[in-house]
Amino acid sequence: MQKITREQLIDQASELLANGTVSTVLGWGAGEFGYDVTPTLFKTAEEMQNGFVFNDFCGANFSKYLVSKTKTLEGKLLVFLKPCDTYSFNQLLTEHRFDREKVYVVGIPCEGMADIAKVKEISGEGISSIASDGDRIVVTTLYADAPVKIDARNVLAERCIHCKSKKHVAYDTLLGEEGDVVASARFDEVTRLESMTPDERFAFWQNELSKCIRCNACRDACPACTCETCVFDNPKSGVENKSPSNSFEEQMFHIIRAFHVAGRCTDCGECARVCPQNIPLHLLNRKFIKDINTFYGEYQAGAEVGSRSPLTDYTTEDLEPSEIFVGRNEHA
């Protein structure tokens, strides 16, 4: 399904390693089952030949790793970034979270990544191998006699169905063609929730948030959450908390988490991807993005380095908090 091949990426990286432009490559390392790829540092072309993969399951956004990895590495780090990842990249630069000079970005096109849960819904558990064949994902399992062929478009990750941009907003080298910002229906689900009654919305979120186990994966995977010490880990912050003792704390955590990244969140979707409990956390972020777009004009965090986040900005004509619900379409 991906237009770009593993070999192309290895070639590009090998060249840059060979000519000394970069010392290390941050890429996807092979796993046990074909779909379980791990972000991995490669030092040589040979290491890449042995352990590097690129397939429909390379969803992880590498931008956040740059904060820690650039601090310790000698030389430049090559990082492969998909279009959506580059927005996080720029946002982190805006916030001075790493040194641009220490990174070499190879922009790679992305046709959308697959969600293994959706694959398994079709193929069933017990995957023994998984491969790509044109637009299809071919899965062999312990239980089916013949390999199951799945149209990759039917198992796209939620964030890829609603891909907002095929455009790389940052790169040193771009493989493939320059893409464009694309129209997406990413706010539809937010709109659907908005059109519910408050009681329905409350019930919806109670049900979702009560699943939270406070593993912090959403926070720890989020490229906007790069605080040295998170307020939720800091006993002096007044909101520190290790477990969701009750529904208040579940809500508190998720409201504050979303508020802290509001205006900075690029909508990369990592939070929802990594949630072990399948809570649609991205909807909280998208709600903020949608509101900001509606209230203060379209803003895409990370579209350009140095842009001012709408919540650290204002105009004298801004909407009043009392006006935000005027004209909103909803049931009584």
Partner 1 sequence: MQRVGVFVCWCGSNIAGTVDVQAVSEALKNEPGVVFSANYQYMCSQAGQEMIKTAVKEHHLTGIVVCSCSPRMHEATFRKTAVAAGLNPYMVEIANIREQCSWVHKDVTAGTEKAIILGKAAIAKVNLNTPLTPGESPVTKRALVIGGGIAGIQTALDIADAGFPVDVVEKQPTIGGKMAQLDKTFPTLDCAACILTPKMVDVAQNDKIRIFSYSEVTDVRGFVGNFDVTIKKKARFVKEDVCTGCGACVEKCPMKKIPNEFNLGMDNRHAIYIPFAQAVPKVATIDPDACNMLKNGKCGICSKVCAAGAIDYKQKDEIIEETYGAIVVATGFNPISMEKFDEYAYSQSKDVITSLEFERLTNAAGPTAGMLVRPSDGKHPHTLVFVQCVGSRCESCAEKGKEYCSKICCMYTAKHAMLTRDKYPDTEVYVFYVDVRTPGKNFDEFYRRAVEEYGVKYVKGMVGKIVPEGDKLKVQASDLIANKQLHLDADLVVLAAAIEPDHSARPLATMLTASMDTNDFFTEAHPKLRPVESPTAGVFLSGTCQGPKDIPETVSQAGAAASKVIGLLVKDKLTGNPCVAIANELTCNGCSSCERVCPYGAISYLDKEFRMPDRTTKIRRVASVNPAVCQGCGACTVACPSGAMDLNGFMNNQIMAEVDAICK
Partner 2 sequence: MQVTEYKPLIVAFCCNWCSYAGADLAGNNRLAYPADVKIIRVPCSCRVNPTFILRAFQRGADGVIICGCHPGDCHYTSGNYYTRRRMATLFSMLDFLGIERERTRVEWVSAAEGAKFAATMNEFAQKVAALGENKRLEDLRCKK
Partner 3 sequence: MLKCSLDNVQTLFAEIAKEAKLYLPIDNADGTAVFGEWSRGVAWSNALNTAKSPKDFFFPQTEDLMRFRTEGKKIEVIDVRRESDDFVVFGVRACDVKSFDVLDRVFLSEPCDSFYAEKRAHGIIVSLACTRPAETCFCGIFGIHAAEPAGDVSAWKTEDALYLRANTEKGTALVARLSSVLEECSDDAVNAQKESIAKIMNKLPLKDLSTEAFGGGKTQDLFHSPAWDALSSACLGCGTCTFVCPTCQCYDIKDFNTGNGVIRYRCWDSCMYSEFTKMAHGNNRLTQKERFRQRFMHKLVYYPENNDGLFGCVGCGRCLAKCPISMNIVKVMKQIGGNKGE
CB atoms closer than 10 angstroms to residue 183: 8
CA 80/CA 95 separation, integer angstroms = 21
User: Can residue 229 be called a binding residue for partner 1 (CB under 8 A)?
Assistant: yes
Q: Is 138 exposed, middle or buried (0-12, 13-18, 19+ CB in 10 A)?
A: middle
Cα separations (Å) of 281 from 142, 146, 153, 217?
33, 37, 23, 11
Q: Which of residues 83-142 bind partner 1 (CB under 8 A)?
A: 94-97
Q: Binding residue for partner 1 (CB under 8 A) from 177, 199, 228, 320?
A: 228
User: Can residue 259 be called a binding residue for partner 3 (CB under 8 A)?
Assistant: no
Q: By the 8 A CB rule, do 261 and 227 touch?
A: no
C-beta of 192: minimal distance to partner 2 in Å? 12
Q: Binding residue for partner 2 (CB under 8 A) from 46, 128, 202, 234?
A: 202
Q: For partner 1, which is the closer residue by CB, 43 or 308?
A: 308
User: Can residue 320 be called a binding residue for partner 2 (CB under 8 A)?
Assistant: yes
C-beta of 244: minimal distance to partner 1 in Å? 20
Q: Binding residue for partner 1 (CB under 8 A) from 71, 211, 242, 328?
A: 71
C-beta of 216: minimal distance to partner 2 in Å? 18
CA 301/CA 10 separation, integer angstroms = 30
Which helix (H) or strand (E) is 45 found in, with range?
helix 45-51
Q: For partner 2, which is the closer residue by CB, 172 or 194?
A: 194
Cα separations (Å) of 194 from 159, 189, 199, 288?
20, 9, 11, 12
Q: Applying CB under 8 A, which part among 9-17, 78-86, 101-109, 219-227 lies near partner 3?
A: 219-227
C-beta of 246: minimal distance to partner 1 in Å? 16
Count of alpha carbons within 13 Å of 125, Cβ hemisphere only? 0
Q: By the 8 A CB rule, do 162 and 297 touch?
A: no
Q: Which residues bind partner 3 (CB under 8 A)?
A: 31-33, 36-41, 60, 65, 117, 121, 124-128, 142-143, 211, 213-217, 219-221, 233, 242-245, 270, 273-274, 276-278
